[in-house]
Amino acid sequence: MTHPLEELRESALREIREAKDEQALEALRVGYLGKSGSISGWSEQMRGLSKEEKPVVGKLLNEARTAVTAALESAAAEFRAQNEVAALANIDITLPGTPHEIGALHPLTQMLNRAIGIFRRMGFALATGPDVDTEWYCFDALNTPADHPARNEQDTFFLPDGRLLRTHTSTVQIRTMQNQPPPVRVIAPGAAYRRDEVDATHSAQFHQIEGLYVDEKVSLADLKGTLEFFLKELLGAETQVRFRPHFFPFTEPSLEVDVKSKALKSGEKWLELCGCGMVHPAVFEEVNKSRGDLAYDPEKYTGFAFGLGMDRLAMILFDIPDIRLFAQNDLRFLRQFA
Ligand code: DAH
């Protein structure tokens, strides 16, 4: 004779097999195993059973619960799998996907990365300074007198508190020397600002790579060799480099550097790229004063410095006709360098 619990189990398993969907399964779960479900009801009845019956019914009850729970779970899993297949049925996985727009580095960044790579090989480290700086860093410490035209309100962007947007990256020379004794060999790429009339070769914001090398016995020959090597590495071995005497307050002697190369679109034309020179002893003295020591003793140390026009370099390297293109974010322009 079969026990009513066994019958109950068998009818539960049959109904589960025949269930049409997940809702039907849930109804069966509640009906058999829920708080007042028919299998659960047997736990209540256990109390009234005799000592002999208890273990027998207890075992049957456990078996029924385990079997029905397992059947419910596997039927539910089956339904879930079917739903997934149905959901995918309308998707053609052989269709091409939606392509993502892949970004690319800005031509100025590409040029800078190449430049940094070349200077790194010559042992230059990277240095940085703020775009907003004081007159002292921008001018006084760089031996630039109070009556210099760049210090005129009309020529530079001043903030109400008297600070300014640096007119060149040479400010980083001073910050670097304040922070470390010689020898120093750094480059400092960054933005600079001037109240220039904006045209194809001038922009209110432009970029420079500043360089500074201070040690014992650094000479003008080192400066020329370094810049010549750099420019030939960057622009090609055919590049001719010309040094012209010039004037900067913070260097003596001072030079400007031009390049010319048949390999470049500009062809036979000399292009001005860079200001440079031997660090003026007055700059070392001002640094010493602010450091409160004699670390940069002008009798012992010499140095060279340079300021390369980054925008100009990128324009030459990539044959870009107008400096304004760098900041206009026109995708037709930018995509050409992707
Ligand atoms: N700061 C100068 C400028 O913006 C460029 C320059 C000239 C930088 C000579 C230097 C230097 O470091 O030694 O025009």
What's the CA-to-centroid distance between 64 and ligand 1, angstroms?
Answer: 90
Buried-state track 52-76, b at ≥16 Cβ within 10 A, e below 16? eeeeebeebbeebbebbeebbeebb
The reported pLDDT for the residue numbered 298 is: 97
Q: Mean per-residue pLDDT for 159-181?
A: 97
| C-beta neighbour count of 167 within 10 angstroms | 20
For 51-64, the pLDDT digits (tens) are: 888 888 889 999 99
Percent of the chain with pLDDT over 90: 74
- C-alpha of residue 317 to centroid of ligand 1, in Å: 21
The answer on pLDDT for 73 being more than 90 is: yes
Question: Do 220 and 240 form a contact (C-beta atoms < 8 A)?
Answer: no
- Residue 275 CA to ligand 1 center (angstroms) comes to 5
Taking the CA of residue 250 as reference, the ligand 1 atom at the shortest distance is 13
Residues with CB under 6 A from ligand 1: 168, 170, 210, 248, 251, 275-277, 305-307
Determine the Cα–Cα distance for residues 244 and 220; give it in Å rounded to an integer. 13
Query: Atom 14 in ligand 1: which residue has the minimum CA distance?
Result: 275
Distance 290 CA to ligand 1 centre (A): 21
CA distance 118 to 105: 18
Q: Model pTM greater than 0.75?
A: no
How far from each other are the two terminal CA atoms of the chain, in whole angstroms?
83
3-state secondary structure of 286: helix
Largest CA distance in the chain: 117
* pLDDT category of residue 112 using cuts at 50, 70 and 90: very high
Q: For residue 196, what are the CA distances in angstroms to 71, 110, 148, 151, 290?
A: 82, 26, 16, 14, 32
The answer to whether the CB of 309 falls within 8 A of the CB of 323 is no
Average pLDDT value for residue range 204-230: 97
What pLDDT, on the 0 to 100 scale, is given for residue 249? 95
% of the chain surpassing 70 pLDDT: 100
Tell me which residue has its CA closest to atom 8 in ligand 1.
307
**Phi/psi at 311 (5° precision):** -60, -45
Quick one: pLDDT band at residue 92, thresholds 50, 70, 90? confident
Q: Which two tokens stand for residue 157?
A: 């962007």
Q: What is the pLDDT of residue 223?
A: 98
Hey, what are 165's tokens?
A: 């947007």
The DSSP string of 112-152 is HHHHHHHHHHTTPEE----SEE-HHHHTGGGT--TT-GGGS
Tokens of 163: 């600070």
